[in-house]
Chain A
Amino acid sequence: MSTPNTSPTTTPETETSAPLFPPGLLLIVAGAGFLVALLHLLTQPTFGVVGWGGLALGVLTLFVWVIMAPEQAASILTGRSAQYGGTAIVVTTIVLVALVLVYVVIRNFNISQDVSNFEVFSLTDDARSIVRTLAADPTTPPMQIIGFFSAARASEQDRISVLLDDFATTSGGRISYEFIDPDRQPLIAERYAARDRQFIIVPLGADGEPQTDQAQTASGSDQQQILDALVRASSSGDFRVYYPALRDAVALDDSGPEGASILSTELSESYGWTTTEISLLDAENPLLTPPTPAPDGAALVLIGGSTPLTAEELTVVTDYLNQGGDLVLFAGLNPDGGPALATDPALSDYLFQNYGLRFRSDIVLDLNNAILQTAFEFIAADFPADQFITREYSNETDSLLFSLTRSIDIAPEALPNVQVTVLSRTTPAGYARPDSVLLAELSPETLAQTPEDLTGAIPVAAVAENTQTGSRVVLFGSTAIAQNAYRQLDSRGVRNTDAARRALFWATGYDAYRQIPSLELVRPEQVPLLLTDTQQRTVAVITLLLLPFGVLGLGLWQWWVRRERTAA
């Protein structure tokens, strides 16, 4: 028989160990702490000091309560009342909180992987290579990708964060990222002039602070667009393109099909270059008076031009080249007959004597590779694999499209300190007619090959480098290489704009400065599903008849078996 605990048997020790306040009070404090943490979690953008403080207070007081009243804690967690009584609610709550904590811990580890092959949420091999190159480049500052996503776009943010994780991991931590809700942190969004669902890439200074003035906006959320902005933001070099205003020349700011604005825009927006129109005879022009500080690289670009340079203009150009300047020249025509800028004997002689190459006054035709139903337009390849401009091109899938093209005359004997490389040639069936045929009435007869014509694999693009002065010259036989109209053929392997851009990279030494690989990313394509009518019918029979009705038949069979058993 148990003895009721009513007799005055308390010892002096037990009297002194009586708590100063009821332990239950601690439970109230713990509850308040958890409540504060929960409210903070629900109302604040990040789980800050107040939240952590509330959580710590809750856990601490709960711990102290367990120490002070172990018998109460034990009775809650064990025994019949815990399992079946009113305290079951408390126990369930504790278990649920524990599960939530486990979830929060796992979530904070942020382990994720894009397991699909389509590389939408992970970097493609090409992109990975570019990110590694950027990260390994000592001139690249640490960079941060800031994604502006409102809470309503949480799903999209979740997916894109997997891609951004890949950026961060691949760069070895040189690229970091964070998301900002423009609705909750409008001041930051305002600072970058950012909208919802926009990415800003900002270089970080030595103190880790974002260099807001150098921030670049990605034009979309695709990895190609983020990568473009990253390359722009990382470009610390000063590279320039100078183009003089000349008669009938193609302008870099002309956005029409005959213009070259796409080339110019890509250079400025993707690589941070400066394109400047100059006057060759202006005493302040940068060819005569190099800017201070000197740019890291610059090139003179002449696209077309129907009339030769004046003697004074030619002197400016040749002086510039003699001092190690770089030239990219796209040959044009003189519609009135006579020499054009590129075929002017004075310029041609200078180029031939100093670089071992020049344009001829002719028009190249290659009927084997003619396209667009005109003999004057043809594609050419035969790319050298060891030259930067063409090294990523395949002779099978890539080509350059030439239109109204001049052939290039290469000196039979190499000049001292000059290295010449042919970039592209016609097929052996190519031939060059005098450009005077353009003035005559065009007919198959006038365009037909004659015994006097230059024939064979004719060079139509070439480069030369004077290793003594460092001067580099690139000649393209046609302005089509730089013109906007041909950019749209890029998807068919026509690499005109890319070649023009890479020619400028090579001429200015940008390739050595930044080691930038091609930004054209190749991503596995999703193959569309296409079944024949017969196949579709077979699929319908299998998935609409055999499968569901087979399962139904199984059910009926089971019902029948059970019925028989019940009857038996």
Chain B
Amino acid sequence: MRAIWAVYKRETGVFFRSPVAYAIAFGLLLLLGLLFNWDIASAAMQQTMGQGGVSADNVISGAVGLLTFLMFLIAPLLSMRLLAEEAREGTLEVLMTLPMGDFAFVTGKFLAAWTYYTFILALTLVYALVLVAFGSTLDAGLMLSVYAGAWLYGGAVMALSMIWSAVTEDQIVAAFLGAATVLVFYLAAILSQLLAGQPALAGLSGFVRELSLPAHYNDTLLNGIVRAHDVAYFILLMVAALFITTIIVGTRRWRAS
């Protein structure tokens, strides 16, 4: 644990001192802000036209839902540097001479990236606070489900992206492959729909759907439905990805020695 904490502390410091990380957060918040204001304007217009309007819960859910979709870009950008940079600069081998296991090293780095993502996610709570300040009521249960789900979702895709940072020394390649991997998991929901059209492949369709990210977040947690296996999916995805990353890091070190 001490080793994880040491790596975590160092990496978290790097994140919060990195202008690039802030630039990523800026871009993301600007995009989410645009959507958020667009939704509010649409809600007002619908009210004016007597079409019922949109609730504050829907506006917040929409913003957080977009954030999770955009994680296919954000997660690789945040995680690409974690291991690829160490390998490129040759510090990975040096770090590995320290008295700590591969898993502690990888986990510490992952937790730091997840912490930075949590910081960005927490900033979006400003949207909810602003609406509440202006008299809107929010469904506490729904918001908890939406945010806790987005937090787990972010951790899972961050861990997935991190695998590629361990595989390659090139950060751009790592980011590209990470984005592709997350997209595959995201688009698996669509593939599942396509497969469902063939009754003979319905089992495969169900299997692919179980792998997809939206089936465990957009379809349930984003609607206030908390299922144990959705939570387990994200946690196990993180564990699996971190395990693979650990194996890859260990293999690199072994080959280098």
Residues of A within 8 A of B (CB): 40-45, 80, 83-85, 88, 91-92, 95-96, 99, 102-103, 106-107, 109-118, 120-121, 150-152, 154-155, 158-159, 162, 181, 183-184, 526-531, 535-536, 538-540, 542-544, 547-549, 551-552, 554-556, 558-559, 561-562
Contacts and interface: CB of A to CB of B under 8 A. Distances in A.
A449 to B, nearest CB: 40
A42 B53 contact: no
B206 A154 contact: yes
Given A115-B144, A551-B29, A539 B251 contact: no
B126 interface: yes
Given A112-B226, A117-B139, A549 B26 contact: yes
| Cβ-closest 4 pairs across A and B | A555-B22, A116-B224, A528-B53, A84-B254
Contacts of B214: 155
B192 interface: yes
A530 B193 CA distance: 37
Query: Which of A120, A530, A558: most chain B Cβ within 10 A?
Result: A530
Contacts of A45: 202-203
A384 to B, nearest CB: 37
Contacts of A159: 219-220, 223, 225
Contact of A551 (B53, B123, B189, B244): B123
Contacts of A555: 19-23, 25-26
A557 to B, nearest CB: 9
Given A159-B225, A543-B127, A152 B144 contact: no
8 contacts: A42-B204, A99-B236, A99-B240, A121-B223, A183-B199, A529-B136, A538-B130, A539-B130
Nearest to A83: B250
Query: Which of A40, A95, A551: most chain B Cβ within 10 A?
Result: A551
Given A154-B192, A183-B199, A547-B123, A529 B43 contact: yes
Given A45-B202, A547-B126, A529 B141 contact: no
Nearest to A534: B134
Query: Chain A: interface secondary structure?
Result: helix
Contacts, number: 228
B41 interface: yes
Interface string B190-227: 00110111011111111101000011000110011111
B203 A544 contact: no
Interface band, chain B? 35 or more
B247 interface: yes
Given A536-B40, A555-B19, A154 B196 contact: yes
B17 to A, nearest CB: 5
Nearest to B200: A43
Interface string B4-48: 000000000000111111110110011001101100110110110
B243 interface: yes
A115 B141 contact: yes
B224 to A, nearest CB: 3
Contacts of B22: 551-552, 554-556, 558
Given A107-B229, A110-B227, A151-B206, 7 more contacts: A152-B196, A154-B206, A184-B202, A526-B57, A542-B126, A543-B37, A547-B126
B228 A106 contact: yes
A63 B14 CA distance: 47
B56 interface: yes
B176 interface: no
A544 B206 CA distance: 41
A159 B47 CA distance: 29
Contact of B55 (A85, A112, A529): A529
Interface in B53-87: 53-59
Contacts of A544: 30, 33-34, 37
Nearest to A111: B228
B2 interface: no
Contacts of A80: 254
Contacts of A530: 43-44, 47, 53
B145 to A, nearest CB: 5
B137 interface: yes
Given A43-B204, A535-B134, A113 B225 contact: yes
B196 A552 contact: no
Contacts of A561: 17
Nearest to A542: B130
Given A42-B207, A83-B254, A543-B37, A551 B43 contact: no
Nearest to A43: B203
B55 to A, nearest CB: 4
A535 to B, nearest CB: 5
Nearest to B131: A529
B84 to A, nearest CB: 19
B3 interface: no
A115 B142 contact: yes
A558 B139 contact: no
A106 B235 CA distance: 12
B240 A558 contact: no
B95 interface: no
Contacts of A114: 224-226
A154 B223 contact: no
